[in-house]
A and B are shown apart, each in its own frame.
Chain A
Amino acid sequence: DAKTTQPTSMDCAEGRAANLPCNHSTISGNEYVYWYRQIHSQGPQYIIHGLKNNETNEMASLIITEDRKSSTLILPHATLRDTAVYYCIVRAIQGAQKLVFGQGTRLTINP
């Protein structure tokens, strides 16, 4: 079962920052936070992951609260191509742990 809670849908204007929240209040100390997204008719695509420090890559930034009970994925300058379902997933550090997807957030970028 998914261990995260995300809003069902969100809208953002093109060119603005998209901030996608995720609640993972039961996260354990040995679990990472992962973000994937799924564009229509495609398979999920990895975005970013983190343990407790904020992370940034070419796609997005991940802000994890100090208590690790929630996080925010930030797309700094959203484009129409960022319209997708965004999944926040927690996954244990040890072993070959599977990714358990929830319902995700359907993000729509408007022109």
Chain B
Amino acid sequence: EAGVAQSPRYKIIEKRQSVAFWCNPISGHATLYWYQQILGQGPKLLIQFQNNGVVDDSQLPKDRFSAERLKGVDSTLKIQPAKLEDSAVYLCASSLAGRTGEKLFFGSGTQLSVL
């Protein structure tokens, strides 16, 4: 079974530039999550989708971050404009239906460096 695919694996940009990350969840998984992991910390949930609808985006900095999941499959996370403090690993995860008791499957993440 293929896992959660993310790209790119690494990205280096200058502050105020824009960047986008892509995620392809496990086939059939209705729920998709984007997490931000700053060095030395645990992952922090940015946004959760159920199919193509947003379930939770309470910790998404909406002035600069946006995410979409068109057709309820792939998802993109965008940052515009980037700040130095956005340097982190961005992890995508998916689960079957988002119910408690289900496992979340994570991708390897995109490591973003903002200079």
A100 within 8 A of B: yes
Main secondary structure on A side of the interface with B: loop
Assess whether B31 is interfacial by the CB under 8 Å rule. yes
Residue of B nearest to A104 (CB): B42
Asked if A44 and B98 make an inter-chain contact with CB atoms under 8 angstroms apart, the answer reads no
Report the minimum CB–CB distance from A2 to chain B (whole Å). 7
B106→A43 contact, CB < 8 A: yes
Chain B contacts for A91, CB-based, 8 A: 100
Which residues in A have their C-beta under 8 angstroms from that of B14?
none
Per-position 1/0 for A10-27, Cβ under 8 A of B: 000000000000000000
Q: A42-B108, A44-B106, A46-B105 are in contact. Are A100 and B100 (CB under 8 A)?
A: no
Q: Which residue of B lies closest to A30 (CB)?
A: B100
Q: How far does the alpha carbon of A44 sit from the alpha carbon of B41 in the complex, in Å?
A: 13
Size class of the B contact interface (CB-based, 8 Å): 20 to 34
Residue contact B100 to A101, C-beta cutoff 8 Å: no
Q: Does A80 contact B (CB under 8 A)?
A: no
Q: Are B100 and A97 in contact (CB under 8 A)?
A: yes
Within 8 A of B (CB), among A35-62: 36, 41-46, 49
Q: Whole-angstrom distance between the alpha carbons of A96 and B106 in the complex? A: 17
- Assess whether A81 is interfacial by the CB under 8 Å rule: no
Which residues of chain B come closer than 8 Å to A36, judged between CB atoms?
Answer: 104
Are A100 and B106 neighbours in the complex by a CB distance under 8 Å? no
Interface residues of B in 87-115 (CB under 8 A from A): 91, 93, 98-101, 103-109
Complex Cα gap A92–B104 (Å)? 15
**Which A residue's beta carbon lies closest to that of B98?**
A96
Can you report 15 residue pairs joining A to B where beta carbons are below 8 Å apart? A2-B42, A36-B104, A44-B43, A44-B104, A45-B106, A46-B103, A46-B105, A85-B42, A94-B100, A96-B31, A96-B48, A99-B45, A101-B42, A101-B43, A103-B41
